[in-house]
Amino acid sequence: MDFGKLINDLNLKKQIVILIPFFFFTVFCSGQEQIYKTTEGRITFKSEAPLETIIASSSKLEGAIGNDDLSFAFLVPILSFNGFNNGLQRQHFYENYLEASKYPQASFTGKIIEFVDFSIPGTYNVRAKGQLKIHGRTKERIIKVELISTGTVITAKAQFMVPLMDHQIEVPKIVNQKIAQEIAVTIRASLSLTPKP
């Protein structure tokens, strides 16, 4: 099953809020293959600009990986990020930069390039190729990921950079010394094997 294509076919723009619970808990639990999933992964971003460093994180990262075809899907609600240096900064992040009312989630969907059998315990350094969607704009990315499997649990770790221009995130000139043009993103999630019915 091609989960990346399935997500595109579902027209996420207007239906994602309704379809995501169905997608993760029905499609991924259909019993057609072994699925590893999480609803409490952690994602952190860091902006290091000349005049200010901004750090925020969310523990609401949802995701799933199929062991058979190595398809994956991850998403995070924009309004779940906390941290920042003050409330006004957080408000600008939600309303002006990422426009959370229009684009409530960021997502990454695709397929792991290398062949891996997660039922075999071990550490796997792989490349995840897919569509990174932030601020309603999609960019194809290949992201290096460390996956540590016990056979029933996968720990996923990744670090990568996100250029604001890739997702048409505009920063006013008056604050361009306080917000970096490339944002460092760190992900850590534990995905547990979902038993077949």
| Tens digits of residue pLDDT in 62-116 | 999 999 999 999 999 999 999 999 999 999 999 989 999 999 999 999 999 999 9
**Percent of the chain predicted with pLDDT > 90:** 75
Tokens of 177: 């010394």
pLDDT at 131 (0 to 100)? 98
pLDDT at 196 (0 to 100)? 57
Please check the confidence at residue 166 and state whether its pLDDT lies above 70.
yes
pLDDT at 197 (0 to 100)? 52
Please check the confidence at residue 46 and state whether its pLDDT lies above 90.
yes
Average pLDDT, the chain: 86
For residues 66 and 4, which has the higher predicted lDDT (pLDDT)?
A: 66
pLDDT (mean) for 131-143: 97
Phi, psi (5° rounding) for residue 79? -75, 0
pLDDT at 172 (0 to 100)? 87
Q: Helix, strand, coil % (nearest 5) of the chain?
A: 20, 50, 30
pLDDT (mean) for 138-150: 97
> Model confidence at 1, in pLDDT bands (50, 70, 90)?
very low
Say if residues 103 and 78 touch (Cβ distance below 8 Å): yes
Phi, psi (5° rounding) for residue 50? -55, -35
> Model confidence at 30, in pLDDT bands (50, 70, 90)?
very low
How many whole angstroms separate alpha carbon 37 and alpha carbon 76?
Answer: 14
Counting other chains too, the contacts that 27-34 makes at CB distance below 8 Å and 24 or more residues apart are 27/1, 27/3, 28/64, 28/66, 28/194, 29/194, 29/197, 31/196, 31/197, 32/1, 32/68, 33/1, 33/66, 33/67, 33/68, 33/69, 34/66, 34/67, 34/68, 34/118, 34/119, 34/193, 34/194, 34/196
Say if residues 107 and 38 touch (Cβ distance below 8 Å): no
Say if residues 161 and 141 touch (Cβ distance below 8 Å): no
Fold of 3-194: Lipocalin (2.40.128)
pLDDT (mean) for 40-54: 96
**Percent of the chain predicted with pLDDT > 70:** 82
> Model confidence at 186, in pLDDT bands (50, 70, 90)?
very high
